[in-house]
């Protein structure tokens, strides 16, 4: 179901390589159109694996039924059907990102004969990547992993940085591990089958990279946001590698979130509150981040840390991506208090103090603690009155 203006390029001339340094092993992220058609040669070249010799016991593809429907045949051809020992499919709905799914996948791997020398190839969005990453980290205390991210979010964010894990009924991503893949292969062609809402949701995270550290990307998006939404290949080729580089830079310097990595949470304190208050049903994650960035930009301007005109630039860019589902009911004061309480219990909060990543300028953000509830309340009330 290729409804996009994405052209197939069989050569890999336009390939981009970005290195990520990690305590659990350094690896490269490769980006380029047509790369998945050539996986076998790529993995051989990158020494990530391949070849059913005594050194490795074959490749196990982990994916979901939906992703597999679109991409399984191409991936199999790319890896070489005889090299793939088996494919394990699991439901990639967010509510299935849990320990039960990890257990099921691990048990299947045992039954399929995967040993320590197996290689897992995760093909899918963030849910497939997070589950597969955790499986790879824990199955037989660690087997090799290659990520093939197939959503915009996964290509610019979740497949890079080594965070893996699953949800508990008590909250998101509460059980997990840092675990490096051998290789990440991001092919923009795979985005051609992504539903429009999912693709747009990824654009908000792209905007985030502009605000937190890349003025040029931000201006480019102001010029080209519609083209990006149409998935124009030249636009993807500019945007995605820039985001990959930004994420790689941040996580390489601060793998375990001591400081710098925190800037990736721009818009996310508000976003998590919006998602939690609506029981994860109303928004795709990126959409909540869209609202979160608007709220954070307004908050920064309100407390005098950020130029109001610049805040408006962020807001209008976010709004150009498309309509956002409505905010949780913040008009009533009980609604606002609930949101503030959720933010105070966010796992990134320290000592119950509200902390926000706020822009100083477009391209520069900082973490600010101790902002009063009243200012946060002002922002939320104003937003809900004139959303």
Query: Which tokens belong to 132?
Result: 């597969």
Buried b (16+ CB within 10 A) or exposed e, 108-124: bbeeeebeeebbbbbbb
> Beta strand pairing status for 355-361 and 364-369?
antiparallel
Spatial neighbors of 349 by CB under 8 A, at least 6 apart, are 343, 355
Site map for ligand NAD, 137-156, x if CB under 6 A? -------------xx-xx--
Site map for ligand NAD, 100-129, x if CB under 6 A? ------------------------xxxxx-
Residue 268 interacting with ligand NAD (CB under 6 A): no
For ligand NAD, which residue of 70, 360, 373, 377 counts as binding (CB under 6 A)?
70
Q: Minimum distance from CB of 197 to ligand NAD (Å)?
A: 9
Q: Specify the DSSP element, H or E, that contains 224.
A: helix 215-229
DSSP conformational letter for 124:
E
Residue 292 interacting with ligand NAD (CB under 6 A): no
List the interface residues with ligand NAD, window 6-65 (CB under 6 A): 64
List the interface residues with ligand NAD, window 153-192 (CB under 6 A): 153-154, 157-158, 161, 163, 172-173, 190
What is the side-by-side order of every strand in the sheet holding 119-124?
Answer: 16-20, 27-31, 183-186, 144-149, 119-124, 59-63, 84-89
Query: Which tokens belong to 299?
Result: 């908050």
Residue 94 interacting with ligand NAD (CB under 6 A): yes
Nearer to ligand NAD, 94 or 378 (CB): 94
Residue nearest to ligand NAD (CB): 126
For ligand NAD, which residue of 42, 43, 194, 203 counts as binding (CB under 6 A)?
194
Which of 342, 329, 324 minimizes the C-alpha distance to 287?
324
Q: Which residues bind ligand NAD (CB under 6 A)?
A: 64, 66-67, 70, 92, 94, 97, 124-128, 130, 150-151, 153-154, 157-158, 161, 163, 172-173, 190, 193-194, 198, 285
């Amino acid at each position: 179901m290729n409804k996009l203006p994405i052209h197939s390029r069989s050569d890999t001339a336009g390939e981009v390589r970005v290195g990520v340094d990690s305590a659990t092993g350094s690896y490269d992220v490769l980006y380029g159109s047509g790369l998945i058609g050539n996986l076998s040669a790529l993995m051989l070249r990158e020494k990530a694996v391949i070849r059913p010799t005594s050194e490795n016991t074959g490749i196990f593809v982990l994916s979901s039924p939906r992703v597999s429907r679109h991409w399984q045949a191409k991936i199999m051809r790319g890896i070489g059907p005889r090299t793939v020992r088996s494919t394990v499919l699991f439901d990639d709905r967010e509510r299935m990102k849990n320990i039960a799914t990890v257990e099921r996948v691990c048990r299947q791997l045992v039954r399929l004969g995967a040993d320590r020398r197996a290689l897992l190839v995760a093909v899918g969005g963030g849910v497939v990547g997070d589950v597969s990453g955790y499986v790879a980290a824990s199955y037989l205390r660690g087997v090799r992993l290659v990520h093939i991210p197939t959503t915009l979010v996964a290509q610019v964010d979740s497949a890079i940085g080594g965070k893996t894990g699953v949800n508990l009924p008590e909250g998101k991503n509460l059980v997990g591990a840092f675990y490096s893949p051998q290789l990440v292969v991001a092919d923009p062609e795979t985005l051609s089958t992504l539903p429009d809402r999912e693709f747009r949701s990824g654009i908000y995270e792209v905007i985030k990279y502009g605000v937190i550290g890349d003025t040029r990307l931000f201006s480019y998006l102001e010029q080209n946001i519609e083209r990006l939404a149409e998935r124009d290949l030249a636009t993807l080729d500019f945007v995605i590698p820039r985001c990959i580089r930004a994420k790689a830079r941040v996580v390489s310097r601060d793998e375990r979130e001591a400081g710098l990595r925190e800037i990736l949470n721009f818009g996310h304190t508000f976003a998590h509150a919006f998602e939690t208050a609506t029981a994860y049903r109303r928004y795709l994650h990126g959409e909540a981040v869209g609202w979160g960035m608007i709220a954070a930009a307004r908050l920064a301007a309100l407390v005098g840390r950020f130029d109001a005109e610049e805040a408006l630039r962020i807001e209008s860019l976010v709004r150009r991506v498309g309509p956002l589902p409505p905010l949780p009911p913040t008009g009533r004061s009980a609604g606002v208090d609930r949101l503030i309480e959720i933010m105070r219990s966010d796992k990134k909060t320290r000592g119950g103090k509200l902390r926000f990543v706020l822009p100083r300028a477009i391209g520069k953000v900082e973490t600010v603690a101790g902002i009063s509830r009243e200012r946060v309340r002002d922002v939320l009330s104003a937003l809900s009155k004139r959303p």
